[in-house]
Chain A
C-alpha cells in the first residue's frame, strides 16, 4: 500500500475523531456481537450490580478505536489491537455518550509495523488504558 498520508510519520498527531453512542446502538451491538449482558441495556440491572447506569460494552468503545484507526490509515491491516477498560462509558437514556479517539504515531518496529499510541476519552476522562494498535501501513 502507498503511504499517502504524511501524518503516518512517527511522532505525528492523529486528528481526534468523535463518535456518539446511544442506547439504541448498544441494543444493535448486543445483537450483532452476541453479548446479551443486561448491564449494557437495562438501567435497573446495571444499578443493582453497582454500576453507575447503563454502560457501553467495552468492546463497543474498542470497535470505535478500530474505526478511528481505519480512518487514519486508509483501512490498513490491523495486526494488534487492545486496551484496558479503565472507566465505564455511561450511556444516558436520552442523548448519547461522546467518545473522542486521538493519538500519536509511534515507531515502526523491526517487522515494519507501525504502532499507534492512542487516547480515548469521554468528557476528558480516560476510558481506555494503554490503548494500542499495530498496523501494516
Chain B
C-alpha cells in the first residue's frame, strides 16, 4: 500500500514520554559496545524518535519489515542527560515515490519535561514496495 502523500505537513500526536534512566542509557551504550557509565550516547534520542516513527507507521498501517532507514540526523540544543523525560512529536515533511518505493521524510522535535526542545531528529524512511 503506498504511503498517502497528503500526510505531508501533518504533525502526529506526541509520543508518551520516555524517562532517560541510568539503566536504559547503560543498556543502550553496552549494546553498541560502549561503556555504560559514560555520557549519554549521541544517538540515544533514537529511542524516543523511533517510538514516534513506530506510532506513525502503526497509524498508517505500514509493516515495519517493509521499512528501511534512509537517513538520520540529530541536531542537539543540549546533550541528553539521565533524568530527562523525553517526548517526540513527528511531522511528515515529504512523501515521494522512486522505483516502486515510497520515501517518507520526517522531522521530530524532541522535548524535555518542561517542553523545551532538546534535539531535532530528521529521518527518511524507505517503504519498500512488494519484493
Q: Are B64 and A25 in contact (CB under 8 A)?
A: no
Contact yes or no, B28 A59, CB < 8 A: no
With a cutoff of 8 Å between Cβ atoms, the chain A residues found around residue B67 in the complex are 37
Closest chain-A Cβ to B25's Cβ sits at a distance in Å of: 9
- Count B-side interface residues using an 8 Å CB cutoff: 36
A79:B75 contact, CB within 8 angstroms: yes
What's the Cα separation between A21 and B34 when bound, in Å? 12
* B33: contacting residue among A19, A45, A51, CB under 8 A: A19
Chain B CB within 8 A of A72 CB: no
Within 8 A of A (CB), among B27-47: 27-28, 30-34, 38-39, 41-43, 46-47
Closest to B48 in A: A34
Size class of A's contact patch?
35 or more
A contact residues around B75 at 8 Å (CB): 79-80
Q: B74: CB under 8 A from chain A? A: yes
Contact B32 A25 (CB under 8 A): yes
* Stretch from A2-10, A82-90, A103-111, A115-123 contacting the other chain: A82-90
Cβ contact within 8 Å between A82 and B72: yes
Give the distance in Å from the alpha carbon of A25 to the alpha carbon of B54 in the complex.
Answer: 22
Query: B32–A29 contact, CB under 8 A?
Result: yes
Task: List A contacts of B131 (CB < 8 A).
Answer: 48-50
Query: Closest A-chain residue to B74, C-beta based?
Result: A81
Say if the beta carbon of B24 comes within 8 Å of chain A.
yes
Which of chain B's residues 6-58 have a Cβ closer than 8 Å to chain A? 24, 27-28, 30-34, 38-39, 41-43, 46-47, 50-51, 54
- Give residues 72-100 of B contacting A (CB, 8 Å): 72-76, 79
Q: How far, in angstroms, from A38 to B65 measured CA to CA in the complex?
A: 6
Nearest-CB distance from A83 to chain B (Å)?
A: 7
**Separation in Å of the A49 CB from the closest CB of chain B?**
5
Tell me how far the C-beta of B66 lies from the nearest C-beta in chain A, rounded to whole angstroms: 6
Given A35-B50, A45-B65, A66-B43, is A82 in contact with B70 using a C-beta cutoff of 8 Å? no
| Smallest CB-CB A-B distances: 3 pairs | A82-B73, A50-B131, A58-B69
Q: A37-B67, A49-B128, A84-B71 are in contact. List 17 more A-B contacts (CB 8 A).
A: A29-B32, A32-B31, A33-B31, A45-B65, A58-B68, A58-B69, A60-B32, A62-B43, A63-B43, A64-B33, A66-B32, A66-B43, A67-B32, A77-B79, A81-B42, A81-B43, A82-B74
